[in-house]
Amino acid sequence: MSRRLWAFALLAACSSTPSYDPHPALPPWMTDAKVFVSGHDLEDQYDCRTRICRHNENVDMITYNGAVYLVHRTARSQVLGPNSSLHVYRSTDNGQSFADVATIQAPSDRDLRDPSFYVVGSDLYIKALTRLPVTSTRDSNVDTITVATHSSDGVTWSALENIAPSTWSFWRVKQNAGVYYSAAYEDGDLAVLLFSSTDGKTWTMGPPVYTVATDTPLETELTFMPSGRMLALVRMDGDDQHYLGTIPPLRTKVCWSMPPYTAPFDCSAELTGVRFDGPLSFFWNNRLFVIARKHLLDDSGRKRTALYEITGNLEGGPIDYKEWGEIPSAGDTSYAGYAMLDANRALVSWYSGDLDLDRPWVLAIFDLTDIWRGTIDFTKLQ
């Protein structure tokens, strides 16, 4: 999503690019990690519609037709603008190497960001968001349009098509029992609603997930439990004092719904002490994990990307969370993707600013960022 640049533009200052060869310490459950797409040494690259630029972010991954696909946004910074594009990569060797197979350019008058994959029939889809290149309070007045493109081979992609009403931002599309679902948040971060589709193309607005505008609800990750019960984890930025994540409380709203998901969600519970920015959820051996941005709760406003596990009663709550640790990350970071390599290992990808500089987030959104890849060994999460 676009950041609240209106509040922090005067803080931005880009430094010269240092030589960069990161060899970070890894948590015991991560067997490797390395930079996959570097934003370093690209200070003089200004064409972000056809080439890789200095700020790379918003990652997703999927396994499709026996290959692993990865997508991310590239631009000069987090600032909304048409000088941006999505790059699609394919790996046929379990993520050991990737080929850049497609570039999807932003519309000529809009920004393009927040891609995520889903599959409809035999086609691979990418959902993304286009926004007007304006600076505004809490993403208001950006006229968000959720769009989609599809491909039968991962290389040739259709033109971007609108799939949702204007001003509504889909997060991640999930499929359950033959129906597609996505939580969407309204421009201005006023409310989150559930959308559904039987064909992945035509979407219908459904019930409210969370509508307390003063909590500024936005990116909402959906997870389906074995019973069919739906869990929605709602990022809540709160007021301007708490938006930067430098002071408590940090909160993530916990909302539940039962099939057929037509009634308003039960949002009577929340996780305290954690705010899941850019959340990605997935199961392994009936254990539910989340990768999200971590706020260090200090005056610097620094961030990390961390692995969490949702614990407790996964069929309606109460639930809690456990942090398993941080992956190599600093500055502007998170918005991860994953693809299972085998029964016990997952390939994960995320983005991060320069680890050595470790800039505050309000500066790092204007600075260079890299796309990382690593491997999680779930057997070591004991």
Residue type, 3: R
Question: How many C-beta atoms surround the C-beta of residue 63 within 10 A?
Answer: 18
Domain count, the chain: 1
Task: Examine the pLDDT at 113 and tell me if it is beyond 80.
Answer: yes
Residue 360's nearest CA partner among 333, 334, 335, 336 is 333
Please provide the distance, in angstroms rounded to a whole number, between the alpha carbons at the two ends of the chain. Answer: 34
**Is 382 contained in some domain?**
no
Go through 209-221 and write b for each residue having 16 or more CB atoms within 10 A of its CB, e for each that does not. bbeeeebbbbbbb
| pTM confidence score | 0.94
**Is 48 contained in some domain?**
yes
Q: What is the mean pLDDT of residues 304-317?
A: 98
Task: Examine the pLDDT at 299 and tell me if it is beyond 90.
Answer: no
**Is 19 contained in some domain?**
no
Question: How many C-beta atoms surround the C-beta of residue 94 within 10 A?
Answer: 15
**Is 289 contained in some domain?**
yes
Residue 373's nearest CA partner among 110, 50, 95, 2 is 95
Q: Which two tokens stand for residue 226?
A: 């074995």
**Is 185 contained in some domain?**
yes
**Is 17 contained in some domain?**
no
Please write the tens of the pLDDT for every residue from 186-204: 999 999 999 999 999 999 9
CATH of residue 300's domain is 2.120.10.10
DSSP 83-118: S-EEEEEEESSTTS--EEEEEEEPPTTSEEEEEEEE
**Is 168 contained in some domain?**
yes
Please write the tens of the pLDDT for every residue from 132-190: 999 888 889 999 999 999 999 999 999 999 999 999 999 999 999 999 999 999 999 99
Task: Examine the pLDDT at 11 and tell me if it is beyond 60.
Answer: no
DSSP 57-82: EEEEEEEETTEEEEEEEEESSSS--S
C-alpha–C-alpha distance, residues 237 and 252, integer Å = 9
C-alpha–C-alpha distance, residues 60 and 88, integer Å = 10
Of the pLDDT bands very low, low, confident and very high (cuts 50, 70, 90), residue 9 is very low
Q: What is the mean pLDDT of residues 29-41?
A: 96
> Quick one: pLDDT at residue 298?
87
Q: Omega into 260 within 30° of 0, i.e. cis? A: yes
Structural domain boundaries enclosing 73 = 5-12+24-377
> Quick one: pLDDT at residue 137?
82
> Quick one: pLDDT at residue 20?
61
